[in-house]
Amino acid sequence: MPERVVTWIFDLDNTLHDARPHFFPHINRSMTEYIEQFLALDTEAAGQLRQHYWRMYGATLLGLMRHHGIDPGHFLRETHRFDDIERVVLKEAGLRQTLRRMRGRRIVFSNGPVHYAKAVLKALRIADLFDDVVCIERTRYRPKPDAYGFLLLLRRHRLRARQCIMVEDSLENLRTAKKLGMRTVWFAHAHNAPGYVDYTIRNVRALRQIGRYLQSCGHFQ
């Protein structure tokens, strides 16, 4: 009999909400300003360093920690401040209804800091629908696609990878999830997906169909 799927693991930004118009530009500006201030660089040099570390390590924070001794907690607090989060958050129609109808546990797994993730979930009116929020602080600042955070999440909830479905917009993160044995859902407007993607969806509502399919196949008991 197939292994039961009991846990849905959701990325946050550009999966549960659209972070592109407001959130990412603000965070990028805040990171550049932080680097300007603490490393005494001009705006252009700070921006270049931010992008360099992002390309090299997958996260600007890692480069700042390794090469400049930046305190990660302070950096994340200062670069993820949103005074008007309720106004700028963009949520998909039917998001709450879809999540409520999905059988199994639900966990958010984000490279962002916990205060930011919880604020976004609250603004989306879905914070109460999740059993846990695993953020970069809990992974010892080792962000996805590093497998460390995935393994920590599995141990924390006593899960086997094959019991989980990862819902993500990032192919790199889905590749790690698949290598560990999870089923994978790519949130993207794309037609061709790599082999490690099990399902591709364009909106969260499509998860209902995936859930019904898995239930009909006996993955939910």
Band of pLDDT at residue 210, cut at 50, 70 and 90: confident
- For residue 221, name the pLDDT band (cuts at 50, 70, 90): very low
* Residue-wise pLDDT tens digits, 161-190: 999 999 999 999 999 999 999 999 999 988
How far is it, in rounded angstroms, from Cα 182 to Cα 199?
12
Distance between CA atoms of residues 166 and 102, nearest Å: 14
Global pTM reads: 0.92
* 87-109: average pLDDT: 93
What is each CA distance from 56 to 38, 39, 62, 108, 214, in whole angstroms? Answer: 20, 19, 9, 26, 38
Pick from 97, 101, 103: nearest CA to 4: 103
Mean pLDDT of 13-20: 96
